[in-house]
Amino acid sequence: MSKIYSLGIFFLTLFFVSTFNYNANATSITPVAIEINDEVKINSITYTNTSKFEVLVQPSQKLWTQEGGKDKYTDTSDLLIVPSFVKIAPGQKQVFRVTKRDKNEAEPRAYRLILEDVSDDVSEALSENQAGNIRFKFNHNLPVYFYPKIAKKNSYRTPNISLCDQKLGTERQACLRIQNEETMHVKVENFIIKVQNQQTTVVPTFLTILPKSYKDINISIPRVAQPVVIEAKTSFGPASITVPVQVTQK
């Protein structure tokens, strides 16, 4: 390889490194979930723009339900979100206020609030002195829960865990059904697999099961000639299921 060619590659690399400034995920929101109830009729979210660019943010909403063990999102206008469209300058914050239009509704509801960056394309939005920047646009999608007074209790029953099917799927996966019979959503985190009361595997999980709903999840279990206990850490307390030996030894 000639010295001239090597120098050319060097200066070309230096040009790209010095010219392009990657300005990646530079927006954030707090909190990441909100609740509306009889005591908190209006809640708020703070959107922080720590990027070098002005962002145009437009909120939208979806009604969030769970049917057949799967999440379902449908159009709705149940929530009132202010502002409905806003420009946020670099380094600035914007507070979005959220409330329920019908505060007298008797049933719990769950929604997804989407804060979408609808800024122009980079080629149109960047000024001449920003032309070397590469910009990424991100949307924030967070849950909004509405609970009437009757949904609030001092304690809640832990979700019920059962087998969706007595047969194992591919890669020895057992289908577990987590049923929430309460009027409040429950969060499920880690699953712990135990054989003879000894922890063998921790399966990180981040599930939200809405009121009076269920979700299915597949978990691989070991092939052993004895029952396997699967424990789940939930926001209502620990829940567990014992998978019988008829299933585990297959």
Q: How confident is the model over 221-238, as pLDDT tens digits?
A: 888 888 889 999 999 999
| CATH topology (fold) of 160-248 | Immunoglobulin-like (2.60.40)
Give long-range contacts, CB 8 A cutoff, 24+ apart: 97-101: 97/42, 97/43, 97/44, 98/34, 98/36, 98/42, 98/43, 98/44, 98/45, 98/144, 99/36, 99/41, 99/42, 99/43, 100/36, 100/41, 100/146, 101/77
Identical fold at 23-151 and 160-248? yes
Which is the CATH superfamily of the domain at 23-151?
Immunoglobulins (2.60.40.10)
Question: What does pTM read for this prediction?
Answer: 0.79
What H or E segment, with its residue span, contains residue 231? strand 228-234
C-beta of residue 144 within 8 angstroms of C-beta of residue 113: yes
* Domain ranges within the chain, ordered by starting residue: 23-151, 160-248
Residue 172 has a pLDDT of: 74
For the chain, residues with pLDDT lower than 50 are 3-25, 122-126, 128, 131
